[in-house]
Amino acid sequence: MAKDVIVACDFNSKEETLAFLDQFTDCKPFVKIGMELFYAEGPDIVREIKKRGHKIFLDLKLHDIPTTVKKAMTVLRNLDVDITNVHASGTVSMMEAAIEGLTRADGTRPLLIAVTQLTSTDQTQLENDLLIKEPMEEVVMHYAENAKKAGLDGVVCSPLEAEAVHSRCGQEFFTITPGVRFADGEKGDQKRVMTPEQAKNNGSDYIVMGRPITQAEDPVSAYKRAVKEFLS
């Protein structure tokens, strides 16, 4: 799949989400549906947005025993999303089971990517809460390599890590990067950010942008600006 800008539709109702998407009359952004919207509205919201012609990244971050993840993925594959994900910390066996469950009878499947370490986790939490003594950077790269070993297509990571992930796992291994802000915009609660152009130069394949687009005075212009900066 080609490089693209994914808009994080972090709304908690169908009405708000569809009213937001209705503003895009001459383009169909790639949409990220997260837990908030999916748990509020169920699978119908995925079908509705898909019916309107948008590509969908279903960001549910599955993490459970391999059998349960496989069965859950078997349900999700029928939703016809374009990308979905799991936690790499669920182990290589769990990620292999996820691929098995996601693969349809005809051999096709959505892209599957892994969350490495959440950007909300810091080195102290890694050491004290999770008893992982390695440096964060090494943990992220090791989890990315595990995802590749399991046959996944890429990882979610910071745009600052995209280049390193590509050099460890190959250029064809996707990096999907949130934490992107316009040069003149608010950072909000994202700490380490890059602009769309910097993310492009650092090797991101997809950037995920939420509030800089959803909360903009003119979301369509903000989206088009992100596309221009990231793709041109």
Which residues would be at the binding site for ligand C5P (CB under 6 A)? 8, 10, 34, 118-119, 156, 178-179, 188, 190, 208-212
Closer Cβ to ligand C5P, 93 or 218, answer by number: 218
CB of 83 to ligand C5P, least distance (A): 13
Question: Which residue among the candidates 14, 50, 55, 61 is catalytic per the annotation?
Answer: 61
- What is the residue-wise DSSP string for the chain? ---EEEEE---SSHHHHHHHHHT-SS---EEEEEHHHHHHH-THHHHHHHHTT--EEEEEEE-S-HHHHHHHHHHHGGGT-SEEEEEGGG-HHHHHHHHHHH--TTS---EEEEE-S-TT--HHHHHHTS---S-HHHHHHHHHHHHHHTT--EEE--TTTHHHHHHHH-TTSEEEE--B--TTS--TT--S-B-HHHHHHTT-SEEEE-HHHHTSSSHHHHHHHHHHHHH-
Shorter beta-carbon distance to ligand C5P: residue 61 or 74? 61
- For ligand C5P, the closer of residues 150 and 222 by Cβ is 222
Active-site residue, 148 included: no
Q: What is the smallest separation between the CB atom of 192 and ligand C5P, expressed in angstroms?
A: 10
Query: Please, which residue, 103 or 190, has the CB nearer to ligand C5P?
Result: 190
Task: State the nearest-atom distance from the C-beta of 178 to ligand C5P, in Å.
Answer: 3
Residue 23: CB minimum distance to ligand C5P, A:
17
Catalytic residue ranges: 61
